[in-house]
Structure 1
Amino acid sequence: MPEEASLEGTPTWIVASVCSVIVVISLVFERALHRLGKALEHRRRETLYEALLKLKEELMLLGFVSLLLVVFQDVIREVCIDESLMERWLPCRGASPAARHRGIIFSIFRDGGAGARRMLGGMPARATVQARPTIFMSQGEVPLLSLHALEQIHIFIFVLAITHVVLSAVTVLLGLLQMRKWMHWENAIQEEGDSAPKMIIRVQKIKFIQDWCKGHEKVALVIIWMRSFFKQFYGSVSNDDYVAMRLGFVMEHIRGHPKFNFYDYMIKALEKDFKRVVGIKWYHWIFVMIFLLFNVSGWHSNFWISLIPLALLLLIGAKLEHIINKLAYEVATKHFAADEEGNVDMVVRPSDELFWFQSPRLVLVLIHFILFQNAFEFAYFFWTLAKFGFSSCMMDGPGYSMSRIIICVVVEVLCSYSTLPLYAIVTHMGSSFKSAVFADDVAEHIRGWADGARRRNRVAGAGLVGLGVAAAAAEPSEEGTSCSSRMPEGSQPTTELA
């Protein structure tokens, strides 16, 4: 079979056509991302726009890695090692090192011809096939990494990055869909128009508190953790949980404005966290290197490593549920939420001490690692299936492969519908709030308070000249309704406490 033609012998119309297709596809993808960014800016979704910029950074990193693999492939291919070193830490057993490398090099020629050419930007395949293996075998050496193996690594890194971005986006979107029912709970609270004292009395009566008032101190710590563990599988956040934790957040950070839209704040905060989740951190790549190192035949490392995200996810879910239970217990130990003078006592007291190492941010770091590792399992499975087949030794057996996929699906579903909603609300039970998300709402409320103060000053000034009574009689209801929800703590009208 004649040797394949190089670029020198390729018709120009073929070169131009292929390059045109590649450029057009790249431009369409780039303009689609640009239009998406403009749409997010137009809708004032700054956090999602920042996540899109983070995605572009990851794609740029991916392109840089691909470029390095192409540029240095000749250098890597020139490196030779002793043949005896190839007998250790093999992902598949059976073939000798020399035969295996010859098989990798010749596997690209399905028709058995010796003149085919394979290029990633390197030398002709004839030289690779005929010259290099002879030199390596005569000296008792083998190449460190073949051209075909470099190509497979190249494809795997690309599949891993794309899979992580897609699965992270799917997880967050499914979590947001699961939390849409919270919007109805928030709307119901807004329509009720309850003041803080009335809301506190309601919180004391709800099932969230009553369940934990009954014999909580007599229950062993193990039983409490068991209840927290199993609750994450059904109704991880109930209406009562939402009402109680919403009130705790409002009274801790924006006391005096009980009508604050807690749901919108949570969604904005979650969108901001999505910007962190969509990226790949440096320590994630360390995990990939460790996995590739221990992916030895007979160790079944693929299966054991797939258990790590499941175990972490169950532990995080139990911890977040335990925080809810602990907050409920603190409420249950209080006799009254408001004393006789009408001063409001904290119902749910947010604190960083509720979290591991007093750091709510650590939960997001662990969820990020879980999503990446789960994406890694998916990417490795489909990459192996496409490049080697289901019966390959790289699959580690049908039983282990199917078990890994089932575990990955369970992790994806549980994280989307339970753990992520739990994180979205429980993480705000810390001692601080995200000021970047909070800024818009604070500015709006400050403007409202300032307008109300100016109106009251104008009414008071008019009263000094005998017009106060007329002004008060003209707009009694508007002033009462517009200012009562913005009055500071302890300044609510007495009728609100009735």
Structure 2
Amino acid sequence: MAGGGEGESLKYTPTWVLALVCTVIVAISLTAERLLHYTGKFLVRKKQWPLFEALLKIKEELMLLGFISLLLTVFQDRISTICIAQHLTYDWLPCKKEKDDQEANGGGGHRRLLAAPSDAPGHCQSEGKAPLLSVQALHDLHIFIFVLAVVHVVFSALTILFGSLQIRQWKHWEDAIQKKEGDQEQGQQQQEKVTHIHQHDFIRGRFLGIGKDLALLSWLHSFFKQFYGSVNELDYTTLRRGFINNHYRDNPTFNFYKYMLRALETDFKKVVGISWYLWILVVLFLLLNVHGWHAYFWIAFLPLILLLAVGAKLEHIITQLAREVAQRHVAIPGELLVKPSDHHFWFNKPRLVLILIHIILFQNSFEIAVFFWVLVLYGFDSCIMGQFGYIIPRLIIGVLVQLLCSYSTLPLYAIVAQMGSSFNKAIFEDHIQAKITGWANKAKMNRKNVDSSNKKTPSPPPPAPESNIDQGREIEIQTISAAQN
């Protein structure tokens, strides 16, 4: 290795130093692994299967980070030996670099990192070229990827946690509805009332008077509604009734609140991961970080704009549900009922909203991760950090996006996402889902066995195919009655 204390190999490293460093690293790694293990056992014991799957997703991300770290470590010497033309290193830089001073890199002079022999001065200079990526730069990139993944997981978890706390305030609404429905079932036959649509508070709050047909007015009302009382008791009651009437009509006492929480927990495992399209965004953002462009300042507005658009859309869906009822009826017997449908969502795909929330949270995490990464490695005054007037707005926007998503957009998504044409598999309890999955797998295996036996020895059709239909009906009846109980 290169001369000096920083370049010594293991041949000249005291064994007690090697043993001490290995002990610390292994202890930290085992502690983290045991923490994840016992967290998983706790979630299994509490039967929190969606959260357990989210924990498995976090483990997958950690494994991916470990593999990325391994690749960067193994190939760092090889990458630093790849040489490129010297003039290519003077453009597209995060910090301005003078051609006659290759060491003028935003605060890089005070950092102390291992130097490989391939990165020593003169390796590519002897050919009149520059290294593609130095070992020092690879080390910084390695740290950035780790910080980005950790910040994204932490911020996603905090968003779900604070959003769930906001949603749990709706529990007393569900309890009051359950008590009222139970009293009606035990009491006498209640006289059916007539609901005058335009006098109903839900319609009056969502279906505007003068200018009610103007789309701009409706969108403006939906935009500002997300900032105050995005979901009130009347919204919850009406949307709950519409969901049950459309998907679970035979069970008016269905616990919509528990179902909604299970559906949100199921979606959480998708939000906490870093999908392939998010890694594409990382590469794109790193490419645009050019000196003088202030790219990260402008990128900070993207999650805010997307979040406001998603919040306005979710509020507008509730408004559309109210408008459909108001335009079709003047008065109806019984309670007001809305009709869930996929056509209210962008491209008729309710899941697209979840993807956008995933992108929003990741973009916001990227901004915060970049700030902490630059602050620790380069310092607040580094040129890569940017000017003070661009830093503070980025931080304010990041905090605003986090709060708005937690306390408004996520609760809105939790209830409005159920207003599609189909329901989430979380409508069934965990044990019922397991039974249905087991039955489906068993049916597939039986079908494969029947097909293979028919190929070997052709035989006439079974004498009573109706028995299979009866068996399927019996399983369906058992599943529905178990779900109702």
TM-score, normalised by the number of residues in structure 2: 0.82
> Is residue 2:288 matched to residue 1:299?
no
Q: 2:96 aligns with which of 93, 98, 110?
A: 93
Alignment check: 8 A CA contact 1:199 1:247 kept? no
Counterpart residue type for residue 402 of structure 2: E
Alignment check: 8 A CA contact 1:105 1:146 kept? no
Return the alpha-carbon distance in structure 1 between the equivalents of residues 308 and 332 of structure 2.
34
TM alignment of 1:201-240, pairs within 5 A: 206-212=200-206, 215=209, 218-240=212-234
Structure 1 residues 191, 417: closer, same or farther in 2, change over 3 A? same
Counterpart residue type for residue 10 of structure 2: L
Equivalent residue of 1:60, what SS? Answer: helix
**CA apart distance, 1:13:** 2.4
Return the alpha-carbon distance in structure 1 between the equivalents of residues 424 and 269 of structure 2.
14
- 1:451 paired residue number: none
Q: Which moved more, 1:308-317 or 1:323-332?
A: 323-332
Q: 1:45 aligns with which of 45, 48, 53?
A: 48
Return the alpha-carbon distance in structure 2 between the equivalents of residues 433 and 56 of structure 1.
29
Alignment check: 8 A CA contact 2:82 2:132 kept? yes
TM alignment of 1:338-487, pairs within 5 A: 338=333, 347-435=337-425, 437-440=426-429
> Is residue 2:7 matched to residue 1:7?
no
Equivalent residue of 1:296, what SS? Answer: coil
Counterpart residue type for residue 335 of structure 1: V
Counterpart residue type for residue 385 of structure 1: L
Q: Which runs of 5+ in 2 are unaligned?
A: 434-480
Return the alpha-carbon distance in structure 2 between the equivalents of residues 53 and 396 of structure 1.
37
- 2:302 paired residue number: 308
Counterpart residue type for residue 134 of structure 1: G
- 1:470 paired residue number: none
Q: 2:152 aligns with which of 164, 169, 173?
A: 164
Return the alpha-carbon distance in structure 1 between the equivalents of residues 431 and 330 of structure 2.
32
**CA apart distance, 1:220:** 1.7
- 1:147 paired residue number: 135
**CA apart distance, 1:88:** 1.2
Equivalent residue of 1:142, what SS? Answer: strand
Residue by residue, what CA displacement relative to the aligned partner does 1:258-293 show, whole Å, maximum 9, x if unpaired? 111100000000000000000001111111111111
Alignment check: 8 A CA contact 2:195 2:336 kept? no
Return the alpha-carbon distance in structure 2 between the equivalents of residues 441 and 281 of structure 1.
26
Alignment check: 8 A CA contact 1:37 1:52 kept? yes
Q: 1:265 aligns with which of 245, 253, 259?
A: 259
Return the alpha-carbon distance in structure 2 between the equivalents of residues 101 and 368 of structure 1.
38
Q: 1:136 aligns with which of 124, 139, 142?
A: 124
Equivalent residue of 1:393, what SS? Answer: coil
Q: Which runs of 5+ in 1 are unaligned?
A: 110-116, 339-343, 445-485, 487-498
Alignment check: 8 A CA contact 1:93 1:297 kept? yes
Residue by residue, what CA displacement relative to the aligned partner does 1:160-203 show, whole Å, maximum 9, x if unpaired? 00000000000000000111111010011111126699899679
Structure 1 residues 409, 348: closer, same or farther in 2, change over 3 A? same
Residue by residue, what CA displacement relative to the aligned partner does 1:352-393 show, whole Å, maximum 9, x if unpaired? 000000000000000000000100000001101111111111
**CA apart distance, 1:214:** 5.7
Return the alpha-carbon distance in structure 1 between the equivalents of residues 283 and 207 of structure 2.
50
Return the alpha-carbon distance in structure 2 between the equivalents of residues 310 and 325 of structure 1.
22
Alignment check: 8 A CA contact 1:309 1:370 kept? yes
Equivalent residue of 2:130, what SS? Answer: strand
Counterpart residue type for residue 376 of structure 1: F
Counterpart residue type for residue 315 of structure 1: A
Return the alpha-carbon distance in structure 2 between the equivalents of residues 221 and 102 of structure 1.
53
Return the alpha-carbon distance in structure 1 between the equivalents of residues 15 and 95 of structure 2.
44
**CA apart distance, 1:60:** 0.3
Alignment check: 8 A CA contact 1:101 1:146 kept? no
TM-score, normalised by the number of residues in structure 1: 0.80
Alignment check: 8 A CA contact 2:195 2:332 kept? no
Counterpart residue type for residue 438 of structure 1: I
**CA apart distance, 1:7:** 1.2
Alignment: residue pair count: 425
- 2:33 paired residue number: 30
> Is residue 2:160 matched to residue 1:177?
no
Equivalent residue of 1:329, what SS? Answer: helix
Alignment check: 8 A CA contact 2:300 2:394 kept? yes
Residue by residue, what CA displacement relative to the aligned partner does 1:407-453 show, whole Å, maximum 9, x if unpaired? 11110000000000000000100000112x12228959xxxxxxxxx
> Is residue 2:327 matched to residue 1:324?
no
Structure 1 residues 310, 102: closer, same or farther in 2, change over 3 A? closer
Q: Which moved more, 1:327-336 or 1:243-252?
A: 327-336
- 2:74 paired residue number: 71
Return the alpha-carbon distance in structure 2 between the equivalents of residues 270 and 97 of structure 1.
57
**CA apart distance, 1:12:** 2.1
Q: 2:114 aligns with which of 106, 115, 118?
A: 118
Counterpart residue type for residue 193 of structure 1: E
Return the alpha-carbon distance in structure 2 between the equivalents of residues 305 and 279 of structure 1.
21
Equivalent residue of 1:99, what SS? Answer: coil
- 2:475 paired residue number: none
Structure 1 residues 372, 2: closer, same or farther in 2, change over 3 A? closer
When Rg is computed on C-alpha atoms for both structures, the one with the higher figure is 1
User: What is the root-mean-square deviation in Å for CA atoms of aligned residues?
Assistant: 2.7
Residue by residue, what CA displacement relative to the aligned partner does 1:39-96 show, whole Å, maximum 9, x if unpaired? 1011110000000000000000010001000011011000011111112111111432
Counterpart residue type for residue 332 of structure 2: A
Structure 1 residues 292, 395: closer, same or farther in 2, change over 3 A? same
**CA apart distance, 1:21:** 1.6
- 1:462 paired residue number: none
**CA apart distance, 1:321:** 0.4
Counterpart residue type for residue 165 of structure 2: L
Return the alpha-carbon distance in structure 2 between the equivalents of residues 354 and 45 of structure 1.
31
Percent identity, aligned pairs only?
Answer: 52
